[in-house]
Structure formats: C-alpha cells, structure tokens
Structure 1
C-alpha cells in the first residue's frame, strides 16, 4: 500500500520511518517532509503546503494512495480531513468538528465539564479587564492560556499578579494571533505532566504507552515553554492502575461526549495529564493529533504494525484487533534546537555528524531540516533534530541518545543535558 503523510516535523519523520519498516508499505510520500524524509528509501517529499488541500487530494487520487495521515493540528483544525474524505480518500485524523478539542481550549474545557472528566477549575474571558479581576480574586500562581492553536507556546504559568497581567495583555494584543481572541485562566496544578496518546475509531479507544515530555527550554524545567525539548516512554509514574482509570474516566468519557455531539472522531486523542503527588490526576488539555516529541519515543517501542492500527481506526474496526503489542525496554529522545529558540533563530546552518550518531546506535528523526541547493543538510526550524535511543532501561536509552547528539554539530546547536532526569535518578 502507498501512504501519504502530511507534515514536516520529527513526528512525521517518525511516522514515515515506522511505516517503512513494514513489508505492506510500498511507498510513503510526505507533504512537504524534511531533510530526513527526503533521504529514506521508498520515501519522497512533495513540494506542497500542508494547507494545499486540492493539491494533496489530486496527488493522492492520481497516485493510488491508500491512506492519508495528518500530522499537524493546524490542517486538522482547518478541515483537511473533511475535504479529503469528500474526495473519497481514507484519512487518519479527526474531522474539523472533532479537532476543536485542540483548536479551542474553551470548547474543550466545556466538553470536559459536561462529560465529568477531571480537569482544572477554569474561566474563559474575552476582555482583559475582567480576566485581570478574576486573577486578583483567585490569587497566584495561576495559568493563563491563549484559547486557540499557538504551536505549544500559548500557556503561561504566572507566579505573580504582574506576570499574569502581562500574559493576559500579550495574548489579547495578538502575540499568538487569532489564538488570542479568548483567554482561558486555570488553577495552577502541581505535579508531573504525562502525555497519554490514544487511537480511536470513534467507538473503541486504545491508549498507547504513556510518555513524559520536557516542555521548558532550560534544564531543571526552567525558562520559556517550547514545543518540547525531549521525552521518554513508558512513563513510570503512569502506573497500570492509573492508566486503567484514565481509560474509563478520561478516554472513554471523551469519546462518548464527542459522539453525543454528533462528532465521528477517528484518529489520535491525546490527553495531557497532571499527576499530583498523591497519585490523583486531572486533564490539562486535549490534542487532536500525535504528540511531538512523544511520537518519537512511542513508535520505536511499537510491535504491532502501525498501518494495521491506523487503517482499523479509519475503517471503524479497532475493536476487532488484538491488544496493541509493545517491545520491552525504554526509549528517550533529546531535541537539538537552533540557538535562540523558542524566540528568534537563524536558519540555513549546515548540519554534520548524523551518520556518526546513527553509527553509535541512535536513531535521528529530523524536525526542522532541509536539503539546500547544494544538497547539504541545513537547519530549517527551531527544533532541528530528535536524537533517539532505545535500551533495556532508561539509563541505556538516555545514554544512547546523548552519545548520538554529542556527535552532531551545527552553528548555535542547543539541547538540554537533563532529559529523563526523573527516571534516571530513580533508577
């Protein structure tokens, strides 16, 4: 079968990489892809934008594409699945109505409250004055969120009233574009964040391995929020007992709530959880797609063919499949970022050392890379590479990732040196 993957990040490279391990996959096309997907056998990039719905559908129909997989949230929120389905294509990714669960934090919060899903206390505002009055009444620390899509950066944990007021003003003044039409203000939850990605066909929902991301730019989880600086799986804090509760109290309730609204949700439902020190949990947010960089640590441990799972979701027969199979062990990824990220950064820096990193045992998923006119691999984004290690335990997996990333060079390279500090210290 032939598959088309929409997106250009590390998540999409990991999806293509995993699919190509199967003898069932003849070819993968990536729109627009990156330097990594351009370099894999049986994989090629298409010079199309992720919002070129007509171009994507034309290519898929003319080239016998069996399945289209949507990576990023923006085209999902803009209705790419609806458009391609109308053309008769099979698409993995929710329709526009379902993608609201990520595209609007206010909509998702209302859904959770209606469904009885445990979540942080929150209020939604359209004016700065009212939002600031609410913060004064509630006190700090408090969480200020831009309502819409903000590439993982529209969440500010305000430790002081002044920080909260600055965050409210910056959102309403358009720092995050149209995502700032509404502001969601939430109570600040204490604990550890865990990402639970689940596959669903709208009737059945099955969780993948829980993962932990490292959202902050600085070591010790300090500094600005990013799209994610590294991750590991399976997250030990998400015990089998906790995952059983997440299945019934979060995932199944969410799918039932979506169905009650007439939404046929097929794709990934990703619950971001905060696990309190006492072991209880609440949902921070939902996402409508594979996580990045969580996908890069989940897929290397997946034993069930990925295409079997995704097709079963699209064809609404996930419940007929046996339980998802996993390899033993652990996986970790470290993100190599451009200097200045998550703020301003330069592109076009020549990257070297990837073959050395892979020779040392690491798997390198490209995120913000491309081949220039001289066919040199250069930086093309804030998060450039995901250097990934697999081992029988976290210590081995993390060591392999760091051995790999130390072999890679480009001007301004930055990465955290403490990815996985919670699990390595415990071991």
Structure 2
C-alpha cells in the first residue's frame, strides 16, 4: 500500500521507521519530512497545514493510508478534508481532536464524566482571572487554552507571578490565540507518566508507558520545551496504577467522547500525575507524543499499519497489542539556546554509526539537506534512542550513542532517566 505521513519531526521519523518495517508498505511519502525521514520515505515539499495540496497529492499518488502526526493539522480538521475526498486517514476528526485543541473543553469533559483531574476554572476575561487568583491557594498552574507547542503552561508560586502570567498569556498573547481563553488549575504534585493508546471510537488499547523531561536544563531547571528526552517503560506506572486508570480514565474518556457525539479514532496520549490521592489526568493529546513515540514505537511488536487500519475500521478489539520486554531511552540533542534562540545550518557528523548497531536509533527532529550534507534546522535536532534489557542499560546505551554524533552548539541534558535510580 502507498502511505503518506504528515509532519516533519522526530515523532514522524519514528512513525516512518515503523511503517517501513511493515511488509504491507510499498511506497512511503512524507510531507514535508526531514533529512532523516528521507531514508524511509520520499519527502514532498508540502506543509502540514496545506490541506488542499495534501488532499490533491494523496489523490494523484493513489495514497491508501494517510497518517497525520502533528497536532495543528489534526485540530485544524485535515482528517475531515482527506476523508471527504475518500482517502483513508489515521487520526481524529476535528470534532474529536478538540480533546487536545482546547484545554477548557477537556477539563469540562473530565468534570462532566467524573474522570479524575485537578480542580480548575476557565477564564476569557483577564480581570476575572486576576480576581480569582487573589483568593487562590499557591502554587497554581495557568494554561493557555489552545495549542502552544507544549509550552503554554506556567507554574506560579505566588500572586505576583500569577498576575504576570495572566498578562503574558491573555494580554501580551505570548502563545498567540491559544491564550484567548485560559485555564487556572490546582497545582498537583507527584510523578508524571505518559501513556499512549490506540483508539477506534469505542475500544482502547494502551501502549507501554513512558516519561518525558520537559525542562531545558539538568535537574528539571530552565524553560519548558517540547521535550528533552524520555524513557519507557516508567517504573512508577505500577499494576495498581494501570488498573485504576483502566477503570476510571482510559475507557471512560473514550466513552465520554462517543457520548458527546465526537467518537475518537487515532491516538490518545494520557498525561498522568500520580498524586497522593491517586492518578489524575494532567492533559490529553490527540496524537503520538514527541519524544514519547521515539521510545514507545521501537518497542512495539505489531505491524503498525495493521493496528492503524483496525482503528479506522473499528476492529481494534481483535488486535493483540504487544511490546518487547525491554526498555528504551531517548536523549534529545538540541541547539544551544533552545527553546529561546539558536543558530541553524551546522553540518552533522557521525550519523552513519547508527547503521552499525542493532537497537540504536537516531530520529531526526530538526534537520535538512544542504547539498549532500545533513545540517541542523531546528531547536531540537536529533533524538538519540537506544534499547537495553532494562532502563539502566538503555540509559547507558543512549548516552554512549550521543557521543557518536556531533554538530556545532550541540546541547543535551545529562540526567534523562535519572529518576530510574530512585524507583
């Protein structure tokens, strides 16, 4: 079958690598792709938000399955456009992708269907938000309602910080229109765990757990980023946590979306906080996480195309989703200065080393070709992933592999997966 993947980051590279392993994949395209994805797919210069061009390309190239990797086109309704043109597409329609597209919607959904989450209030008026904060308990969390590249969340330790946060989100519009509405949420403490799942509208099958590191600096310091590294599975995601979430979170979310007339097909990413009062939902995403996909997909035993088609066809209950009994760690190699300002265009060396070693992967996030040379083209440049028999071995392998690759201004955290030692 002919497959089109929409996106250009490390997540899409991980998807492309998984699709390439399927005996059912004949021709793989990626729009717009990157220098690493080009190893598995023919990259086409169409942006993820160019819906008409994507639809026309899919029709002209007899695409049998389109996989939408990114949040913006999902929330914008790309799946609807493609399906209306008769193109089978993996991902939620616009009315279901709102689960990620609006934090106010998802919080209201959880409240209505008794899905455990932090206490919260929604605001469209900055003055009302400040008045509420004057009576609130600190620390407190401010969230821009819409998509903000994983960065529209502020943790404020006192009223002064919170007022500055309201100004930043709602008045200065630091996150653009994402800040037209804002959620103020109780601050929860505990371990964070990410659980990705396949969903076919009624059935949900969870993948292996993972844990992301959002802060730019070692020891969880610095600014929030799109993710500086991740590991899978999470030792904190115990059998008890899994059973609780199966009972009160996972199926409950799928059923709630169906009850609202918004059946969800695709991937739901559950961001969980393991609090003293039990697991609670921090956030939903409507697609594979990035960099979570980079540690989860290499461990999946199933043919990804078969699982995705089952989600589209409503036959996921017939799939036995299986993962390897091992571990994986991903360390993101970023450009110095990310996520604020950084230089691009530096040549990358050492990439060929990964082809010599089984169980090692280098997923490209921000790269492009400059002639025959692969150069840096983003804040997050590469996701160096390695497997191991357990998390400690995978972590040692991943950090050893970061030494194989070099580019000017290469930056990384040195404590990805350090929490493993505390488990």
TM-score range for the pair, normalised by the shorter chain length: over 0.9
How far apart, in 2, do the equivalents of 1:214 and 1:243 lie? 21
Alignment match, 1:80: 78
1:420 matched to which residue of 2? 417
Q: How does 1:22-61 map to 2 (within 5 A)?
A: 22-40=22-40, 43-61=41-59
CA–CA distance in 2 between the matches of 1:76 and 1:243? 28
Partners of 1:198 and 1:279 in 2: how far apart? 24
Q: CA deviation at 1:352?
A: 1.1
What is the SS of the residue equivalent to 2:134?
helix
Moved more, 145-154 or 354-363: 354-363
**Separation in structure 1 between the aligned mates of residue 399 and residue 134 of structure 2, nearest angstrom:** 44
Instruction: Let me know the Cα RMSD of the aligned residues.
Output: 1.2
Matched position secondary structure for 2:178 = helix
Q: Which residue of 2 aligns with 1:270?
A: 269
In the alignment, the residues of structure 1 paired with residue 175 and residue 287 of structure 2 have an alpha-carbon distance, to the nearest angstrom, of 20
Partner of 1:384: 381
Moved more, 74-83 or 397-406: 397-406
For 1:279 and 1:234, the matched residues in 2 are separated by 23
Counting matched residue pairs gives: 421
- Per-residue CA deviation, residues 181-229 of structure 1 (Å, 9 max, x unaligned), is 0111100000111111111000101111111000111111111111110
Distance across 2 between alignment mates of 1:207 and 1:243: 10
- TM-score normalised by structure 2 residue count: 0.97
- 236-245 or 306-315, larger mean C-alpha shift: 236-245
Contact 1:139 1:161 in 2 (8 A): no
Alignment of 1:13-412 (within 5 A): 13-40=13-40, 43-172=41-170, 173-276=172-275, 278=276, 280-321=278-319, 323-359=320-356, 362-372=360-370, 374-412=371-409
Structure 2 residues not aligned, in runs of 5+: none
The structural deviation recorded for 1:297 is 0.3
SS state at 1:342 partner = coil
Distance 2:315 2:422 in 1: 42
SS in structure 2 at match of 1:332: strand
Quote the offset at 1:347 in angstroms.
1.5
Shift of 1:240: 2.1
Query: Which has the larger displacement, 86-95 or 417-426?
Result: 417-426
The alpha-carbon deviation at position 29 of structure 1 amounts to: 0.6
CA displacement 1:106-136 (0-9 Å, x = unmatched): 0110011011100000011112222122222
Cα offset, 1:403, TM superposition: 0.9
| Structure 1: distance between partners of 2:347 and 2:422 | 35
- State the Cα deviation string for residues 27-79 of structure 1 (Å, max 9, x = none): 21101000101133xx2101101111121112212222111110010001110
The whole-number CA distance in structure 2 between the counterparts of 1:244 and 1:66 is 37
Of 89-98 and 237-246, deviating more is: 237-246
- Give the TM-score normalised by structure 1: 0.96
Map of 1:3 onto structure 2: 3
- Partners of 1:104 and 1:424 in 2: CA distance: 36
Cα distance in structure 2, aligned partners of 1:86 and 1:357: 41
1:133-158: CA deviation from partner (whole Å, max 9, x where unpaired): 22221121110111100000000111
Q: Distance in 1 between matches of 2:6 and 2:27?
A: 14
SS at match of 2:209: coil
SS in 2 for 1:138: coil
Contact 1:303 1:327 in 2 (8 A): yes
State whether residues 357 and 408 of structure 1, in contact with CA within 8 Å, keep that contact through their aligned partners in structure 2: no
